Amino acid sequence: MNSFVLRGGTIVNPDGNVEADVVVSGGVIDTVGGTTSDLPVVDATGCYISSGFVDLHTHLREPGKEEAETIETGSRAAARGGYTAVVAMPNTDPAHDAVHVVDFVRARGEQVGLCDVLPSGCITIGRLGQQLVPFAALAKAGVHLFTDDGTGVQDPLLMRRALEYAGQLGVVLAQHCEVARLTEGAVMHEGACCSSLGLPGWPALAEELMLHRDIELVRLTGSPMHFLHLSTARSVEMVRQAKLEGLPITAEVTPHHLSLVDELLTSLDTVFKVNPPLRTRTDIEALKGGVLDGTIDAVATDHAPHSDHAKEQPLDAAPPGMLGLETALAVINTSMGLSPRRIAEVLSWNPARIANVADRHGRPVAVGEPANLAVWDTSSEWVVSRDHFASKSRNTPYDGMTLRGRVHHTVFRGELVVKDGEATK
C-alpha cells in the first residue's frame, strides 16, 4: 500500500490543530485536506495525526542479548508505540564503541525497516570509564548522541575532556547521572519504603550530585549535554535553573517516572526495579511540572527488555529496567493529561531535534514532508497485557492496568507499518 489516505483525523502541528485528511504517497505527504476517491482509506476518525514519535532512549539488546530483544522485535515494539525513530543505547555486547558495531546496528535496523534505528555511541571504550571512544570516526558513521548509559561517567576529568573534544565535532554527550559510590548494591529509592523493606537504597543525591557536576562542566566547556531519565524533584529544579542561565542542556524523563511510585516495591516484585529507581509522589509531581513548563524537553522510554528468567532472580540480582515503547503514549496521557500539542512536542518534535534527525522526523504534517507519522487518540481505554507485546520480553510494570490513549497507526517512510494497533510486517 504505497498510497493511502488517513481519513477523519485531526492534524497536530506546531501552528495548531486542524481536521483534515492526509494522503500519503511515494514516501511523502502528498495532499492535506481536499477529497480523494480511489485511494485505500485508513480510518483515523477521532484520532490525532502527528509526526512519528522519536525515542531518545531504547535498549534493543542486539548484539549480545538477543534472548531479551532484537533489533527486529524492538523495532516492531517501537512501531506499535507510534515511534518512527529510536536511539539505540550503546550498552550492548560488544558495546557501541567502534564504527563496525554502530554500522551493524544501523544496517540491521534498515533491513528490518520498521523505524529508523539510530545508534548512539559510548563515551568510553567498553563503557569502562577509562578511555574515550573515537568520537570523530563514530560521528562520521552517523552517531550524534554519546553516552555510557547504564553507568554514569564517574571521572570528572574524563568527562571534562569528553565534553571539550566532542563539543568540537557537533555531537552531544548524554549523561546517566549516578555517582556509583553512593548506590552500591542499591535496589530501590532510598526513603521510607526501602527502610521498611530492608533494601539498599538509591539516594536521590547520587543523581543530583552528578547532575550538578555536569551542569558545571557544561558551563565550563560550553559544550551541549543531554541528561537522561531524570527522576528527582531537585534534578528538575537544577535543570530549570541551568536553562534560565542559558546553558546548552536538554533533559528527558521516562513514562514510568511520571507514573509509578517507589511504594510499588512493597510487592517485592522485580518488575518494579529500575535504574534510576521509582521515586516518591513529590518527585513525580515535580517531574510532571517539568514536562508541563518545558524544563523537561522529552519523554523517553528507557525501554529495557529483560527475559523472564533474568527478572525471576532475587531483587538484589535482578537487572533493573522495564519495557516502555508500547505503553509510552498511554502512560503519559493517563498520568498527566497533556494537550495533544505537548504530547507531540515531548514525544516527537523535541526528541527529533535532540537526536539530530529533525530533517526527517518531528516535521510538520504538511505537503511534501517525509511521511513518518503516528495516528493516536487520547480517549480510548485498554487493559495492558504482558502477553500482548511485540517486544520479545514481558517485563512491563503496567500489566493488568487500564490505560487511556492508544496508537492506532504508524507510517514509516510512507509505509503503513502499524495498522489498527498491529504491525503489518
Partner 1 sequence: MKHLLSIEELTVEQLTALLDLTDHMVEINARPVPKVPALRGRTVASVFFEDSTRTRLSFEMAAKRLSADTMTFNVGTSSVNKGESLRDTIETLSAMGVDAFVVRHKSSGVPHMITEWTDASVINAGDGWHQHPTQALLDCHTVTRSFGTGNDLRGRTVAIVGDIKHSRVARSNIRAFTLLGAEVVLVAPRTLLPPEIIDWPVRTVDALDEVVSDVDVLYLLRMQRERMDAALVPSLGEYSARFGLTRQRATRLKPDALVLHPGPMNRGVEIVVDPRELPGSRILDQVRTGVSARMSVLYTVLSGGSVPPTGGAE
Annotated catalytic sites, by residue?
302
Which range touches partner 1 (CB under 8 A), out of 76-84, 219-227, 307-315, 398-406? Answer: 307-315
Q: How many Cβ atoms from other residues are within 10 Å of residue 19's Cβ?
A: 10
Residue 89 C-alpha cell reads as 543505547
Looking at residues 249 to 268 of the shown chain, list those that interact with partner 1 (rule: CB under 8 A): 268
Please pick, from the candidates 93, 293, 312, 420, the single residue that binds partner 1 as defined by CB under 8 A: 312
Pairing label, strands 188-189, 201-202: parallel
Identify which of residues 159 and 271 has a Cβ nearer to partner 1 in the complex. 271
Which range touches partner 1 (CB under 8 A), out of 167-175, 207-215, 306-314, 417-425? Answer: 306-314
Report whether 77 contacts 390 (CB < 8 A). yes
Please pick, from the candidates 9, 119, 167, 203, the single residue that binds partner 1 as defined by CB under 8 A: 203
- The candidate with the shortest Cα–Cα distance to 347, out of 53, 118, 79, is 53
Alpha-carbon 322 to chain mean position: 12
Measured CA to CA in angstroms, residue 75 lies from 154, 305, 374 at distances of 31, 13, 15
- The candidate with the shortest Cα–Cα distance to 56, out of 151, 152, 176, is 176
Min CB(201)–partner 1 separation in Å: 6
Distance CA 61, CA 45 (A): 36
Residue 198 interacts with partner 1 (CB under 8 A): yes or no: yes
Please pick, from the candidates 245, 316, 381, 420, the single residue that binds partner 1 as defined by CB under 8 A: 316
Identify which of residues 39 and 315 has a Cβ nearer to partner 1 in the complex. 315
Distance CA 61, CA 59 (A): 6
Min CB(279)–partner 1 separation in Å: 13
Distance CA 372, CA 403 (A): 25
Which range touches partner 1 (CB under 8 A), out of 15-23, 118-126, 198-206, 290-298? Answer: 198-206
Min CB(198)–partner 1 separation in Å: 3
Looking at residues 218 to 247 of the shown chain, list those that interact with partner 1 (rule: CB under 8 A): none
Looking at residue 156, its amino acid is P
Looking at residues 178 to 197 of the shown chain, list those that interact with partner 1 (rule: CB under 8 A): 187, 190-192, 194-197
Min CB(282)–partner 1 separation in Å: 13
Q: Which uninterrupted H or E stretch holds 381?
A: strand 373-383
- The candidate with the shortest Cα–Cα distance to 286, out of 236, 239, 332, 249, is 236
Site string for partner 1, 19-38 (x = CB under 8 A): --------------------
Size of the site for partner 1 (CB under 8 A): 22
Residue tagged 533494601 (cell numbers): 199
Residues whose CB falls within 8 Å of the CB of residue 38, separated by 6 or more in sequence, listed in order: none
Residue 282 interacts with partner 1 (CB under 8 A): yes or no: no
Identify which of residues 65 and 96 has a Cβ nearer to partner 1 in the complex. 65
For partner 1, the binding residues (CB under 8 A) are 187, 190-192, 194-201, 203, 268, 270, 309, 312-317
